[in-house]
Chain A
């Protein structure tokens, strides 16, 4: 049951430009959303989160936007850096429980 979908398996961006990663979900009960980043041979690491009572959360170069009516969230990285190249997973949960992940988007930032 793919309740969380990342429809773009890969994204390539030039260094310094904006990276936009998208995520859609189907379960309207989800109320907490997170983004994780994964480098090869490492486990995913938490990047940024947002609760359903907000529509935007910002942390440095990373901003997550939530559109509840469209059941859509996005991660913006500005400016993108080569070190941002990784696989990004979107995740959603109900009150922090039973977290569901998307299939991931591989971001490549070219120097």
Chain B
């Protein structure tokens, strides 16, 4: 069974640009969550999608958005990039929402110059 796949793995952008990250969950998993990892801050919760609906949202500005498609694949978008957005963005899937255990992808490393 293939794991969670995130693309791209690495990307470099400049301030003011926007970026779209993609996540393909494990087959059959319907819940997708996104996290931002920065040194010293751990994993900060961005949002969770289930059946194409956003169920929960973390404390991030509106520049961070996401969506989920009917095949459970998810994308997140960050507009008007700032230097502080440089981070590892992790996607995690689970079979259902509220089941606790998450299966993570390897992440997308974003560097903003």
Which residues of chain A have a CB within 8 Å of any CB of chain B? 1, 4, 6, 9, 32, 34, 36, 41-46, 49, 89, 91, 93, 95-104
Contacts and interface: CB of A to CB of B under 8 A. Distances in A.
Contact of B45 (A32, A95, A100, A102): A100
B104 interface: yes
B113 interface: no
A6 B104 contact: no
A89 B41 CA distance: 11
Interface of B: 4, 33, 35, 40-45, 48, 55-56, 59, 90, 92, 97-107
A32 B41 CA distance: 21
23 contacts: A1-B59, A6-B42, A9-B40, A32-B100, A34-B100, A34-B101, A36-B104, A42-B106, A43-B90, A43-B92, A43-B107, A46-B101, A46-B103, A49-B100, A91-B43, A93-B100, A96-B97, A98-B45, A99-B45, A99-B100, A100-B45, A103-B41, A104-B42
